[in-house]
Structure 1
């Protein structure tokens, strides 16, 4: 009888093992699903809107600009220096929007909302990270340090203002000139012996001084005047989504900007627009405008391009909203409209730089 029981259990063992494997697989799938959903939620939480101000890196968001302007109004600390610090401490990283091309934020800024490399324990705790430092002679070395963690960028910018007041008042009290402020504060903020010089370079390169005479109300008025017009149609949104993710039917290769644009339209289910870049303008300019104001989402923007090929064919891209253009420059690129126009120095059929925007095939998609 005992032998029969043992044999019965052994005969059931493969079934029991299979059941256990199925249960484990289901649990693993559910865990993976939870991870994906959690990651998606985190990405949505991190999503932010790039500033509408022209010529400023795309990783600088509305929240950062408004935070800098608020602390400027409250404390008198130049907003230009604040944003220059964000660029220097956290910019051109590989996290968040633009990160795949080095136009995102640092991990510390994107995941932990610490824009200025402030060490210690913040309102949301602390995180240990490796960081580069310098000796007084300029020799580089690395350490692992605890950095403050914040719930959002506004909280971080406010904490910076408090830190400046508590620790740097002997250097910055009464200083109103932005460059002098950067020099004084920068002499103590970091071990980088060229820290202040780098801040001023950012202030010069991106014309951040315009922030120093701006209020939050001024900025919000500017936002409203440069917002994307009206509600976009489904096809406009589809074009923008395909363009900004480089998912058209034609890959990015040198001298094929018009083909890339046509491939985006084709992927959106529209007729394939034919012709080179300047053809787009010559054939369909009646559907568009030479004004940079109120460019419709998904419209094709036309410029003169650069170099010899630009002088013959010009250049085109797709306006994807928020003052930005997606285009093929030999590789995939997303730039602000002003940046996009700035490098187009060729003269193509009498046009130099910005030409205008059009709807391919004279087919308005915003109606």
Structure 2
């Protein structure tokens, strides 16, 4: 019997290796999908699923179709929350933020997925459905507005009050509490503030946020650099803090400007927010540097203040100061990032 066991082992080993390779490959795909993201910046004070592109598109549709941005954002929170950069698989992979099914008249892209539905008694069941697929979040939001205006199922014409607008969407989902759930999101995150904004005023507010970061940073010019100083949240929250290292200086400046990014280190800041190009730099953005020319490991961070200058806490024995973003720093630059 021993030879048979050996032969079985010879055949079994390659099978086990093959299965393991397949499993590893699947995990690589899943991890790739969940970590690559869409590179979109999140919006301060809102859930991770809400990206800046979504806010801007909601404001554009508010102006064009008179659909309250608060309700649009509430629907995105309700329909799209998941594990992929805060998004559901349908939203993350196919940019479908509202669970809109394809239907027989849809001529665009589609995808087929399992989805949960709810019976009138509140119990749930799963079905396999074909959904619309989009190339961008903006396209999804625009399509949702067109659908609302063209369907008799949603009597939204002339409805400007956001809560009443939400109640007009009771047929959007099989969830019997759907309108009140949307209103709950609107209340929780105070989404109503977006109902009085335009794209222009939103961008001005963002620019103002960056300028406020710079203002707060400038208050600490002359303060000592101490390696590892100022990293607890109690220190970052303290407006009187007077010793920093490079990353705690960034975190303190942001927190004091009303933007809580926590107490991140340089290695965490290099992947925070969204990466931007040098041409997109505006006051309040951060610049990450390597120790040496051409390096890729982050060892320093500064805040860009405009006009080719930056403010930072440089090194032991030095103080917080403004310097030119010179060739010395450009040679060591890893990336530029926006955190607000």
Q: TM-score range by the shorter chain?
A: 0.5 to 0.7
Checking the alignment, whether the CA contact within 8 Å between 1:182 and 1:199 is kept in structure 2 is yes
Is the aligned partner of 1:226 residue 2:162? Answer: no
Q: 49, 52, 58: which one pairs with 2:48?
A: 58
Q: What per-residue deviation string (whole Å, max 9, x for no partner) do you get for residues 156-176 of structure 1?
A: 000000100111476212211
Quote the residue 1:245 is aligned against. Answer: none
Is the aligned partner of 1:43 residue 2:36? Answer: yes
Cα distance in 2 between the residues matched to 1:182 and 1:173? 12
Q: What per-residue deviation string (whole Å, max 9, x for no partner) do you get for residues 254-288 of structure 1?
A: xxxxxxxxxxx9xxxx8344897657888983468
Q: Which has the higher helix share?
A: 1
Cα distance in 1 between the residues matched to 2:238 and 2:175? 53
User: How much is the aligned-residue C-alpha RMSD, in angstroms?
Assistant: 4.1
- Partner secondary structure for residue 84 of structure 2: coil
- Counterparts of residues 124-203 of structure 1 (less than 5 Å): 125-168=109-152, 171-185=155-169, 187-203=170-186
Change (3 A) 1:279 1:80: closer
- Structure 1 runs of 4+ aligned residues shifted over 6 Å read 274-277, 279-284
Cα distance in 1 between the residues matched to 2:91 and 2:101? 13
Quote the residue 2:227 is aligned against. Answer: 271
Ranges in structure 1 where 5+ consecutive residues have no aligned partner:
1-27, 97-103, 231-264, 289-295, 303-316, 337-357
Quote the residue 2:59 is aligned against. Answer: 69
Checking the alignment, whether the CA contact within 8 Å between 1:227 and 1:322 is kept in structure 2 is no
Change (3 A) 1:66 1:363: same
What is the CA-CA distance between 1:85 and the residue it aligns to? 0.3
How many residues matched? 235
Change (3 A) 1:169 1:224: farther
What is the CA-CA distance between 1:78 and the residue it aligns to? 0.5
Q: State which structure, 1 or 2, has the greater radius of gyration over its C-alpha atoms.
A: 1
Is the aligned partner of 1:79 residue 2:72? Answer: no
Quote the residue 2:287 is aligned against. Answer: none
Alignment TM-score, normalising by the size of structure 2: 0.58
Checking the alignment, whether the CA contact within 8 Å between 1:123 and 1:149 is kept in structure 2 is no
Is the aligned partner of 1:212 residue 2:202? Answer: no
Cα distance in 1 between the residues matched to 2:201 and 2:238? 38
Change (3 A) 1:105 1:281: closer
Checking the alignment, whether the CA contact within 8 Å between 1:112 and 1:149 is kept in structure 2 is yes
What is the CA-CA distance between 1:50 and the residue it aligns to? 1.7
Checking the alignment, whether the CA contact within 8 Å between 1:318 and 1:326 is kept in structure 2 is no
Alignment TM-score, normalising by the size of structure 1: 0.54
